[in-house]
Structure 1
């Protein structure tokens, strides 16, 4: 298995055979992760953990999504993913999760930077989106650090835990990303 260094951590694939490790990671951060995203509701036991990872293996096989784990000392702390990826249209939606003990260290920002580079440079993606609940300040901060622009707010778009929530759409375009990475902004 390959791993890409992220400073004191590393980024690598998550496969269906990682289901136990993935479930343990979600269990450690269930309340924290579940504040803003439905992952904690979807992955509740070994069967659902394996099914979730299998859905991303299927997406990888059809080039419509990817999932990667962030590990430190071999322990899974969270991950990043392309929830959707449409290579023909050149659009992908990135996302993340992280257990609370790993928050605030820049791991997600570094990991998302790696996958955006890959999507733009290797897969020809033109637009990478970041969709986030307006109340998820930490995730919005990641979008800002990545140089994304706020496209707008889908008011009361998402029905989550019995309440309607606003969903912000942030994005970066390939030319903007390349300029930012080369320091030519």
Structure 2
């Protein structure tokens, strides 16, 4: 297995695989309310079996080259993750996403980890467009898109029903030439 350092603060990016289901479930329990503000992941991961099933679904996506999932560890503890929710190598388009438990918020971990993902997608896999789709109410995630040099493409008004509320979803993106110019 590999681990990519995300700085000098003990943060690492590693594959998040099915054999880590117990650790993933414990992480989800610690951050359930915080993570679940805008992301439906906690509703999918309710016990160790569902944690394993979620991780296995991404192992299948990776095998099919349609998605990927990585965890963020801080001082040896899983505190969040980043993913390619959609990865379409044929079209050159993908969608990155993230989540983080509250103990790790405000450290730049998501920005640093997503930079690694976008670099790989653009430089290694030849992706042309990387999207970031976020609730208009999720200021922290919108700020990540800005720090990554993404452009706000538009708003899908009331397109995401979640917890009894229809959320406006913002679409942000960065194109490969923009990414390279910004690096």
Q: Does 1:5 align with 2:25?
A: no
Which of 21, 35, 38 lines up with 1:19 in the alignment?
Answer: 21
1:35 aligned counterpart, secondary structure: coil
Cα RMSD of the aligned pairs, angstroms, is: 0.5
Aligned equivalents of 1:72 and 1:33: distance in 2?
Answer: 17
Picking from 142, 159, 162, the partner of 1:160 is 162
In structure 2, the partner of 1:151 is 153
SS of 1:56's partner is helix
> Structure 2 matches for 1:51-130, cutoff 5 A?
51-130=53-132
1:36: Cα distance to partner?
Answer: 0.3
Cα deviation for residue 163 of structure 1 reads 1.2
Separation of aligned partners in 1, 2:140 and 2:75: 24
Structure 1: 5+ residue stretches without partners: none
Aligned to 1:34: 36
Tell me, what secondary structure is at the counterpart of 1:94? strand
> TM (normalized to structure 2)?
0.98
Structure 2 runs not aligned, ≥5 long: none
Kindly indicate whether residue 173 of structure 2 is the aligned counterpart of residue 179 of structure 1: no
Which runs of structure 1 show a deviation greater than 6 angstroms over 4 or more consecutive aligned residues? none
1:72 positional shift: 1.5
**1:162 CA drift (Å):** 1.1
> Cα offset for 1:37?
0.7
